């Protein structure tokens, strides 16, 4: 069984209302973390930056505004499969990206063929990975405090 899906999408990095530039963004989905998608942004002159967030958030965000906290995704208008805005925030800093919706939908369709939405919990390895991750987090917290 194939264990990942990836795609490269060109997005606009919106620096300000007057300034934006196109950058390649790698989208990745892996069965070892079936609830998440990863977007790796390749900004000129900087090391690549990867964000991971819920696959369902990206699915929902293509059609309607959604997201709380550090990630907000929303279509730019009322047209079906137009453009999508992705806002990523850390503290007071934020980055805004605009993407055409069809390549995002095509990527999400491929993830659904790999692991259908709602079937993520049926992956046996996921439970083992989750237990390992939780044990590691708890151990780190105990050693730090």
pLDDT tens, position by position, 73-130: 999 987 777 899 999 998 888 999 999 999 999 999 999 998 888 777 776 565 566 6
Q: What angle do CA 140, 54, 59 make, to 5 degrees?
A: 175
pLDDT digits (tens, 9 = 90+) for 4-58: 999 999 999 998 889 999 999 999 999 888 999 999 998 888 899 999 999 999 9
């Amino acid at each position: 069984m194939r264990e990942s899906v990836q795609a490269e999408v060109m997005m606009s990095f919106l620096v300000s209302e007057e300034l934006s530039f196109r950058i390649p963004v790698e989208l990745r989905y892996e069965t070892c973390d079936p609830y998440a998608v990863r977007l790796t942004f390749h900004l000129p002159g900087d090391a690549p930056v990867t964000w991971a967030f819920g696959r369902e958030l990206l699915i929902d965000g293509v059609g309607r505004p959604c997201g709380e906290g550090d990630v907000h995704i929303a279509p730019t208008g009322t047209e079906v499969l137009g453009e999508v805005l992705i806002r990523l925030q850390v503290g007071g800093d934020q980055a805004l990206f605009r993407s055409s919706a069809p390549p995002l939908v095509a990527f999400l369709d491929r993830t659904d063929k790999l692991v259908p939405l709602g079937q993520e919990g049926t992956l046996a390895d996921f439970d083992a990975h989750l237990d390992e991750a939780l044990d590691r987090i708890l151990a780190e917290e105990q050693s730090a405090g």
